[in-house]
């Protein structure tokens, strides 16, 4: 039995006859294999990642497990289509908070076609990618476990956040009082358990940063950091958030040719700085509250 991923927050979603990812009950995530060079690039990347001795084991854990490819009935009704079979990284979470952040001020591979580069340049210029070094592509926060209501702002709102608004969204991500009400100030009560601590998101990002400071194998264009944690357990008083960082989307990974990936590293450092600021900020931080129009909720 294949299902639409309930917690997918970015990319093409498998609904209304659109081709998109599916999941099963065995912890597998089926991503449609693109039928151009992007599909072959992603397969080549996962194959190389699993076998290249230059990639440390502690770094491999930041990537979804690759389980090969399989032809399954596509979500758009087009019949059997090849899919990447990956680990469904949120399958063990009961009530996950999920955020997808595209890293880098440039999201295009230099070897891409002129038309594709033009398309990406337009997106990068119109978003926070150029100003912040990253852009929040999507997030989904449960505002009430009683009626399963969520706060999932539209892509148009997220695309071009100013610095303070990006910090505000990150603050909401780790708050117990998430609400669609603009006037409720995020309490960030989970910041120390999710962002902080020896196994928190900040430490995981710092471990990735150490690798990106030296790795000259890959250049990661249009790749995202996926941040996940278990909200329900924290609401019940648990000391563990299950905070998880994964890198996803590798259709545009290029050969580094011995050079540091400064584009990704710069964006990652920027995200680390923003998360550090949220973690260290006092409760009365003065972030702007009037950041989201009602039609973007």
Question: Could you say which of 2.40.50.100, 3.30.470.160, 3.40.50.880, 3.40.50.261 is the CATH number of the domain covering 96-296?
Answer: 3.30.470.160
Strand order in the sheet with 28-32: 22-23, 28-32, 80-87, 66-73
Q: What's the per-residue H, E or C state across 33-76? A: CCCCHHHHHHHHHHHHHHHCCCCCHHHHCCCCCEEEEEEEECCC
Q: What residues contact residue 280 under an 8 Å CB cut-off, 6+ apart?
A: none
Lowest mean pLDDT among 121-125, 167-171, 224-228: 121-125
- Comparing 100 with 153, which gets the higher pLDDT? 100
- Delimit the domains of the chain by residue range: 14-87, 96-296
Tell me, what's the pLDDT at 191?
94
> What is the value of pTM for the model shown?
0.87
Mean pLDDT of 193-205: 95
pLDDT at 85 over 90: yes
Please say whether the beta carbons of 289 and 183 come within 8 A.
Answer: yes
Q: How confident is the model at residue 294 (pLDDT cuts 50, 70, 90)?
A: very low
Question: Among residues 7, 34, 211, 172, which one has the least CA distance to residue 100?
Answer: 7
pLDDT tens digits along 220-243: 999 999 999 988 888 888 888 899
């Amino acid at each position: 039995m294949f299902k639409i991923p309930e917690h997918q927050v970015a990319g093409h979603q498998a609904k209304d006859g659109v081709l998109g990812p599916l999941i099963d009950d065995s912890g597998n995530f089926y991503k449609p294999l693109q039928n151009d060079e992007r599909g072959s690039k992603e397969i080549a990347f996962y194959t190389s990642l699993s076998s290249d001795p230059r990639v440390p084991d502690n770094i491999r854990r930041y990537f979804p497990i690759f389980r090969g490819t399989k032809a399954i009935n596509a979500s758009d009704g087009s019949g059997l289509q090849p899919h990447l079979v990956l680990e469904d990284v949120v399958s063990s979470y009961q009530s996950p908070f999920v955020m997808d952040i595209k890293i880098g001020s440039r999201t295009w591979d230099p070897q891409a076609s002129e038309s594709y580069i033009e398309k990406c340049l337009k997106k990068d210029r119109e978003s926070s990618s150029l100003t912040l070094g990253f852009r929040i592509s999507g997030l989904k926060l449960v505002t009430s476990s009683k009626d399963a209501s969520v706060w999932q702002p539209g892509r148009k709102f997220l695309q071009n956040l100013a610095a303070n608004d990006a910090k505000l969204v990150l603050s909401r991500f780790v708050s117990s009082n998430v609400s669609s009400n603009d006037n409720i100030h995020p309490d960030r009560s989970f910041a120390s358990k999710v962002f902080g601590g020896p196994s928190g998101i900040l430490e995981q990002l710092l471990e990735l940063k150490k690798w990106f400071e030296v790795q000259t194998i890959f250049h990661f264009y249009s790749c995202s950091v996926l941040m996940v944690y278990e909200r329900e357990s924290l609401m019940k008083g648990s000391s563990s958030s299950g905070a998880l960082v994964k890198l996803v989307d590798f259709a545009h990974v290029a050969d580094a040719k011995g050079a540091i990936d400064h584009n990704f590293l710069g964006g990652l450092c920027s995200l680390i700085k923003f998360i550090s600021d949220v973690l260290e900020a006092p409760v009365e931080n003065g972030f702007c509250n009037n950041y989201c129009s009602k039609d973007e909720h």
